[in-house]
A = this chain, B = another copy of it.
Amino acid sequence: MTKKNMTRLELLMDAGNGAQKAGDILIKGFAKKGHYVFIEPLIPAEISPPKRTPHSLSGAVIRVGEDELTNIGSYTDFVLVEHEILLKKRLSDKEFSKDCIIFIDMAESKRFSDDFEEVIAEAEAEGYKVIRFNMHEDALATIKALNGNGKNMYYLGMMTKLFEMQPEEIETVIRATFRKLSEDKLNQNIGIFKLGYDGFAEVYQENISIPERKIEGDKVLLDGNTAMALGIIDAGIKLFSGYPITPASTIMHNLAKLFPQYGGMIHQAEDEISAIGTAIGSYFVGVPSVTATSGPGLSLKQEFIGLATGTEVPCIIIDVQRAGPSTGLPTRTEQSDLYSAIYGAHGDNATVVLSVSNVEDCFYAPHVARYLTEKLRVPVFILSDYLTSVSYRILDKMPLALLQDKDVTEIPEYILKRFDLKPLPENIEMVKDNQSKPGEEGGTRRVTGLNTDEAGQVIYTSESDHRAHQVRNNKVYAVEDAMLEPEKFGDESGELLIVSWGSCRGVLQESITKAKDAGYSVGGLNLKIVYPIPTKHLKNIFSKYKKVVTIEVGYGHERKPAQLAGLLRMQTLVDVESAISNATGRPIKPIQVLEMIESKCQGVPA
């Protein structure tokens, strides 16, 4: 039995065969043992592409450990894969650890033996250990009887054994998960599971054990988009107005079920333009609303975003970034909508952009967005990304803010602090003095995207135009003035400062810890609010390091800094390099960061 305090495994199957279900059950098992998990589903861009094609790859990457996990890590130690084509596809991502063990189901090798052997040879050439296995005959028979379903239960059984879990406990979770199945079918599935469990000893004799821990406090298992949906409710928002798009859709799906239970409504519009229009209409009459989308939808919303700025109607836009440009790679991750959010609408716009680094941020970002947009009456973005939106984590149950029917200024300070912010000044000047809500007697007023004076009258003079610009931008400066020093990791000064935003925070945190352990003089800084940026703080902090770099999941080059790097350069004039700028659609690995640190610090720990 091998003890590990952290490992990563992955289950790779054809789409529709239940890899993610099996993964879900497995992590609930881990959770019962007090382990922490971080799980990233691998989802095809098509629905159920033909089996035995690379496009059909569907799976779950599961990182499990003794301590809290902030990211998916670098490499996989154990792979369980249904057939050689999926293995080949995943090999190309280069995410297996050097002594990775790959369990490959040989069921289909009879018809495709050459193909199997070729891929296995390829894997072995990389130094991985490939272990072939065949499912028990009885299992195969049951699977046949179930029209091909149930294979995932066999694999689940194998994993249960590999990680020394109690099969009875897992069985309970299976029963809960499939409670809608007939008793018969359920038993068949459990039968397969048990055969997998029992048969594993023949396949592999080692077991992995992660030190167990007593679970302290309430834990929840949540992915980013579910947390965002719950946060929307807790923030006191009453209307979600959206249009389906991957990976934002699941926010809508969650709310479609939950929102009516908490007095809210969801509206599926005919397109993204209409969706934000309806959100603006709702906020104009005083009802907090939100819209959510991904890249292509963000491009479509730009005109209405400008209207929200001009009319001073609050507006919250969630953008779950995916790999672009254009339709791009809809089920891969990226962080490259930052400029589109800040600069996308024509003319000089005033906006605030929040980013989320983890599930907890997803939950609280709607609160902060609501606070900012109602105080300032400028559009506020929440930038999430594919990785954050689909990844599950086990985490401490969050305290609620219960802003339903409360004034947004009652937002607890710990939430603002989470986004490195203190409360805004009480009075914020508006372009238009009268900000009454429809329904208020004596308050009748008109808003427009045309330029107006303080009385709200349409006017085309030089002074009024200048004033309106200044008032709008002052709102953004007010945010900058209310920004605390951003979160930092590692050394307060030294050779290298690494800056991150959004989903890279976890990777940064882990990498800095490791680099410190290795003796490097390095610090980390993560931005939650990415527009405006706290220029004064940053200039001060940057001056304490020899070199400042960013890590971002998005294209960057020495001739074209990645997006955050560019913004930091513009505002601080420090030579911030985008040291890691993955345009691969895959998360940054801690190991990449460590290697970068090594190279930047000339390989010499301080």
User: Which residues from chain B contact A450 at a C-beta distance below 8 Å?
Assistant: 45, 326-329
Question: Are A326 and B310 neighbours in the complex by a CB distance under 8 Å?
Answer: yes
Stretch from A63-71, A113-121, A250-258, A334-342 forming part of the interface with B: A334-342
Query: With an 8 A cutoff between CB atoms, is A469 at the interface?
Result: yes
Q: Are A300 and B298 neighbours in the complex by a CB distance under 8 Å?
A: no
| Complex contact A462–B573 (CB within 8 A) | no
Q: Which residues of B contact A326 (CB under 8 A)?
A: 306-307, 309-311, 345, 347, 449-450
Interface window among A72-80, A496-504, A580-588: A580-588
Residues A480 and B310 in contact in the complex (CB < 8 Å), given A92-B462, A347-B326, A573-B573 = no
CB distance from A455 to the nearest CB of B (A): 14
Q: How far is the CA of A472 from the CA of B574 in the complex (A)?
A: 27
Question: Which residues between 295 and 320 of chain A lie within 8 Å of chain B, taking CB atoms?
Answer: 295-296, 298-300, 302-303, 305-307, 309-311, 319
- B336 near A348 with CB under 8 A, answer yes
Interface 9-mer from A129-137, A151-159, A432-440, A555-563: A555-563
- Copies of chain A in the complex: 2
Are the C-beta atoms of A323 and B480 separated by less than 8 Å? no
CA distance A473 to B325 in the complex (A): 12
A124 within 8 Å of B (CB atoms): no
CB interface residues, A 97-131, toward B, < 8 Å? none
CB distance from A301 to the nearest CB of B (A): 9
What's the nearest-Cβ distance from chain B to residue A40, in Å? Answer: 14
Contact of A340 among B93, B345, B554, B584 (CB under 8 A): B345
Closest chain B CB from A564 CB (angstroms) = 11
Given contacts A303-B300, A309-B325, contact A559 B535 (CB under 8 A): yes
For A536, the closest partner residue in chain B by CB is: B559
A346 and B326 alpha carbons, distance in the complex (Å): 7
In the assembled complex, A451 has its CB within 8 A of some CB on chain B: yes
A298 to B346, CA, bound (A): 7
On whether the beta carbons of B300 and A325 are closer than 8 Å, the reply is no
B348 touches A299 (CB 8 A): no
Residues of chain B lying within 8 A (CB to CB) of residue A224 = none
Distance in Å: Cβ of A325 to nearest Cβ of chain B: 3
Q: Is A161 an interface residue (CB 8 A)?
A: no
Give the Cβ gap from A400 to chain B, nearest Cβ, in Å.
Answer: 33
Contact between B325 and A346 (Cβ–Cβ < 8 Å)?
yes
Q: Which residues of B contact A348 (CB under 8 A)?
A: 324-325, 336, 554-555, 583
Can you list 14 A-B pairs, Cβ within 8 angstroms, ordered by A? A92-B461, A93-B461, A94-B462, A298-B346, A300-B303, A307-B327, A310-B325, A326-B347, A339-B339, A340-B346, A462-B584, A466-B583, A473-B555, A566-B570
Q: Give the top 4 A-B pairs by smallest Cβ distance, nearest first.
A: A324-B347, A310-B326, A326-B449, A325-B347
